[in-house]
């Protein structure tokens, strides 16, 4: 059986102080400090944090991968101050390094405080700045406060040497060029930032790099971001962890976000698809003209037509994979609309190229440059029209909490093309309040053991869950393999889970993450159903 769960793990933080060994009380602020061989820094860091945050209810969580005396020192500090917490990782737990250390800390304690601040242990991030960041978050009601080295009033003098400074600036601009979300701040690569925990709850992190802020910005583009300046200090003790390996991990992280987050780098995805269309166009043109001796105009018409079709299909599957089609007719209509949109793009290309060619110069290399400018104009116009017309998201249906539960279940079932949808109350018996089935007969049905397991996990974690099960891998490929899949999404009333939307389907097409995201958004106003 193949199964996977898209659920944030509930890691446990262990306090090093005896009086605080149980689950800590909710605090205003949690500081997450990833450490690796920072024995010369942690004691001074805790002292500076204590001085800087006097009067603020906070705790410090060290996520430690050290092989030196660092965990021993942190335990000693925790015995003196119960606000100091240690999560020590060993062996395979350390895979991913800094990025997974931060997400481990977030998973373990984000529910226990209003805000979380991520900072380094080497004192290059001044603890005195944390109070200002917290005050700015509350004053501006922002979701993320970035401590920026590059905004007015900040500096990055603490970076050692011109090469590392150049790499830092270059990586910043690379992120901002690829992802528009990174342009919300002048320093998307900083490791010093504060977030409101409720704003990032539910994000499925895939940390492959060492800069988690970039992932937060890209995965949650709706966040309100503000920044405060800070001076990046020189390292207090120990050696920098920056290396060529981390540089490669950063490039891997950029690639991962670009590939896995549908809305990330959308223009560049569109441009890549457009480049593939040029290859399709050229191949078809040469094939028909040279090998089948077709008339050049006829060959050109077929080449243009097929390249437009290939661009539409790839944009549908890659560039706008998160845009749902309400029906197959809707999909076909969008495909037909791709042709007039492409014609407008061709017109924009000609409108730029021809006047320049006629009134400036038709000599080499000018006409090549003018052609390039025409391509840029056509791509921009095509992208804008595709965004607003071709792949304009369908207006999502919003949940009407006044509607009968059975009607709500039927609406969900139709949207997800599910076999069965139930509205489940979190009682001992997991009572099905209402249901909808594509099979004639009574909609409510007994919950299976697998159903109960998925629902109980959602009730326990308050996190949406996608479960897919199916046959073991067969010796030959099977195109008609059927998978059982289910979606379980909590209905929240404040912090309390008051019910669950549960959907099942047994089909050759299993539920996807996009289905999970849709149902989660749909269910966000459903608390009244169970009141």
Residues 298-320 pLDDT 10s: 988 899 899 999 999 999 999 99
Name which of 254, 264, 137 is nearest 193 in CA terms. Answer: 137
Residues 59-109 pLDDT 10s: 999 999 998 999 999 999 999 999 999 999 988 777 766 777 888 888 787
Last residue of a domain, one of 199, 234, 260: 260
Last residue of a domain, one of 260, 287, 317: 260
Residue 170 predicted with pLDDT over 60: yes
Residue 13 predicted with pLDDT over 50: no
Residue 10 predicted with pLDDT over 50: no
In the chain, what are the helix, strand and coil shares in percent, each to the nearest 5?
50, 15, 35
What is the pTM (predicted TM-score) of this model?
A: 0.73
Neighbours of 509 (CB within 10 A): 10
| DSSP codes of every residue in 100-145 | HHHHHHHHHHGGGEEEEEE--SSSSS-THHHHHHHHHHHHHT-SEE
Task: Please state the domain count of the chain.
Answer: 3
Tell whether 90 and 192 lie within a shared domain: yes
In a domain, 395, yes or no: no
Residues 416-445 pLDDT 10s: 888 899 899 887 667 888 888 866 555 556
CATH value at residue 190: 3.90.550.10
Give me the pLDDT at residue 144, please. 96
471 vs 405, more confident:
405
- Which residues in 411-482 belong to E strands, given as ranges? 420-424, 432-437, 465-469
Residues 179-236 pLDDT 10s: 999 999 999 989 899 999 888 876 767 666 557 899 899 988 889 999 999 988 775 5
Q: Out of 26-30, 165-169, 245-249, pick the least confident.
A: 245-249
Q: Do residues 141 and 224 lie in contact, with contact meaning Cβ atoms separated by under 8 Å?
A: yes
In a domain, 1, yes or no: no
Neighbours of 200 (CB within 10 A): 19
Beta strands at 432-437 and 420-424: parallel, antiparallel or unpaired: antiparallel
Tell whether 40 and 120 lie within a shared domain: yes
Tell whether 279 and 241 lie within a shared domain: no
DSSP assigned state of 312: H
Give the full edge-to-edge strand order of the sheet including 84-88.
Answer: 14-15, 84-88, 58-64, 27-35, 113-118, 193-196, 144-148, 225-229
Give me the pLDDT at residue 95, please. 74
Give me the pLDDT at residue 396, please. 56
Q: What is the mean pLDDT of the chain?
A: 83
Q: Do residues 306 and 284 lie in contact, with contact meaning Cβ atoms separated by under 8 Å?
A: yes
In a domain, 274, yes or no: yes
Give me the pLDDT at residue 8, please. 32
CATH value at residue 437: 3.30.450.40
Task: Provide the domain limits for residue 383.
Answer: 266-390
In a domain, 399, yes or no: no
123 vs 247, more confident:
123
Give me the pLDDT at residue 158, please. 63
Last residue of a domain, one of 212, 240, 260: 260
Name which of 32, 39, 170 is nearest 107 in CA terms. Answer: 32
Place of tokens 């042709």: 339
Residues 336-364 pLDDT 10s: 999 999 999 999 989 999 899 889 988 88
Residue 297 predicted with pLDDT over 90: no
Distances (CA, A) of 320 to 324, 444, 504: 9, 36, 26
């Amino acid at each position: 059986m193949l199964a996977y769960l898209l659920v944030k793990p509930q890691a446990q933080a262990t306090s090093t102080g005896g009086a605080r060994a149980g689950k800590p009380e909710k605090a205003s602020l949690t500081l997450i400090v990833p450490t690796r061989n920072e024995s010369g820094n942690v004691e001074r860091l805790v002292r500076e944090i204590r001085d800087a945050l006097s009067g603020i209810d906070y705790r410090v969580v060290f996520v430690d991968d050290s092989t030196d005396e660092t965990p021993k020192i942190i335990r000693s500090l925790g015995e003196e101050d119960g606000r100091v917490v240690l999560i020590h990782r060993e062996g395979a737990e350390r895979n991913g390094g800094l990025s997974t250390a931060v997400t481990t800390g977030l998973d373990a304690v984000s529910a226990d405080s209003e805000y979380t601040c991520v900072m380094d242990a080497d004192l290059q991030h001044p603890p005195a700045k944390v109070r200002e960041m917290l005050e700015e978050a509350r004053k501006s009601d922002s979701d993320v406060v970035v401590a920026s080295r590059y905004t007015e009033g900040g500096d990055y003098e603490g970076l050692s040497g011109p090469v590392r400074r150049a790499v830092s600036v270059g990586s910043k601009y690379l992120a901002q060029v690829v992802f528009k979300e990174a342009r919300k701040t002048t320093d998307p690569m900083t490791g010093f930032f504060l977030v409101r925990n409720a704003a990032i709850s539910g994000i499925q992190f895939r940390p492959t790099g060492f800069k988690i802020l970039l992932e937060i910005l890209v995965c949650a583009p709706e966040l309100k971001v503000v920044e405060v300046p800070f001076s990046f200090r020189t390292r207090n003790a120990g050696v920098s962890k920056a290396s060529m390996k981390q540089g490669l991990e950063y490039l891997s992280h950029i690639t991962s976000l670009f590939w896995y987050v549908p809305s990330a780098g959308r223009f560049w995805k569109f441009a890549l698809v457009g480049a593939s269309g040029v290859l399709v166009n050229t191949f078809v043109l040469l094939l028909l003209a040279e090998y089948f001796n077709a008339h050049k105009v006829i060959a050109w018409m077929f080449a243009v037509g097929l390249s437009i079709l290939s661009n539409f299909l790839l944009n549908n599957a890659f560039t706008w994979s998160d845009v749902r089609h309400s029906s197959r007719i809707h999909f076909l209509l969008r495909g037909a609309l791709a042709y007039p949109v492409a014609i407008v793009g061709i017109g924009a290309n000609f409108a730029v190229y021809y006047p320049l060619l006629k009134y400036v110069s038709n000599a080499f290399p000018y006409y090549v440059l003018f052609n390039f400018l025409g391509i840029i104009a056509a791509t921009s116009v095509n992208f804008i029209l595709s965004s607003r017309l071709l792949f304009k998201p369908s207006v999502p249906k919003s949940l009407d909490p006044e509607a009968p539960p059975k009607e709500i279940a039927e609406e969900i079932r139709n949207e997800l093309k599910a076999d069965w949808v139930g509205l489940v109350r979190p009682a001992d018996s997991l009572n099905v309040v209402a249901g909808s089935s594509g099979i004639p007969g009574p909609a409510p049905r007994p919950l299976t053991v697998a159903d109960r397991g998925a629902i109980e996990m959602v009730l326990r974690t308050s996190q949406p869950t996608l479960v897919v099960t199916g046959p073991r891998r067969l010796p030959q490929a099977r195109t008609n393999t059927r998978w059982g899949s289910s979606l379980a999404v909590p209905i929240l009333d404040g912090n309390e889970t008051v019910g669950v939307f549960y959907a099942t389907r047994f089909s050759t097409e299993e539920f996807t993450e996009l289905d999970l995201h849709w149902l989660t958004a749909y269910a966000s106003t459903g608390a009244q159903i169970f009141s």
